[in-house]
Amino acid sequence: MYRPFDLAGQGVVVTGGNGGIGYGMARALLAAGARVAIWGSNVEKTERALASLAQECGDAGRVHAFVGDVGDEAQVERTFGQSVAALGRVDSCFANAGVSSKGTLLTDMTLEEFRRVQRINVEGVFLTFRAAARHMAQHGQGGSLVATASTAAVEGAARNSHYGASKGAVTSMVRALAVELARHGIRVNSILPGWIVTDMTERSVQNPKFADAVLPRIPARRWGEIDDFGGIAVYLASKASAYATGEQFLIDGGYTKF
């Protein structure tokens, strides 16, 4: 029987899978039958996520967790190696880890603050994708690379040049890699979340003034939830997306269309 969304036997890495959108992705990937390795930088948060995911999926042997800094080359190489050892192989890799930024005018921004955002949001994706692509190309079975970008890559906002620059860089990287890695059977796509309720956005979405200004611009008339990313994660990890590469998938409730 044709099962386009069946991920049984597949190994998947989700960076930043210990919370927020990455956690929502990991839940859905496990539900679809995949073996999943989540990465996080906070030990306690990562351990809690591991316990919760293992309990929910009912098979602790299918979910693993590793602690590391995606902006550190040596740590990425080490953590990816640990993931391969735990999963057997990596068929899909979601470079989801990222940091937000405090609103800062360009004229007030320090180079240190700008680089802090690029280090995780751009260099972290590069390092994660490089490790995964090397593994996939070596094993010759193809695979799927997915980066979490943001609607900030396609819309402008004041006091947000450092974050917008980082996410725009990610979408450009994805398009280039989609062309470069296609000969290895590796698909490369990006997901662009809108306003999603996570720890990163909690202060904004709970601010009545902000909600009054932004919610009317969202045709879906609600904030996004982390579970809104489960379906797209399964799709991009599965054979259902075998001919989709170099694409930007906007998951924003219609925000950028209104």
Catalytic residue numbers?
Answer: 163
Q: Please name the helix (run of DSSP H) or strand (run of DSSP E) that holds residue 12, with its range, or none.
A: strand 11-15
In the structure encoding, which two tokens stand for residue 153, read together?
């890559």
> Do residues 150 and 193 make contact, with C-beta atoms less than 8 angstroms apart?
yes
Cβ neighbours around 52 below 10 Å, total: 15
Taking alpha carbons only, the member of 191, 228, 205 closest to residue 96 is 191
CA dihedral of 132, 136, 139, 140, whole degrees rounded to 10: -170
Query: 254 near 20, Cβ under 8 Å?
Result: no
Distance, in Å, from the CA atom of 15 to the CA atom of 30, rounded to the nearest integer, reads 15
Q: What are phi and psi of 179, to 5 degrees?
A: -75, -45
What are the residues whose beta carbons fall under 8 Å from the beta carbon of 20, sequence distance 6 or more?
A: 196, 198, 199, 200, 226
Backbone dihedral angles phi then psi of residue 77, each to the nearest 5 degrees: -60, -45
Nearest residue to 202 via CA among 122, 100, 83: 100
Chain Cα centroid distance, residue 120: 12
Q: How far apart are CA 171 and CA 183, in angstroms?
A: 20
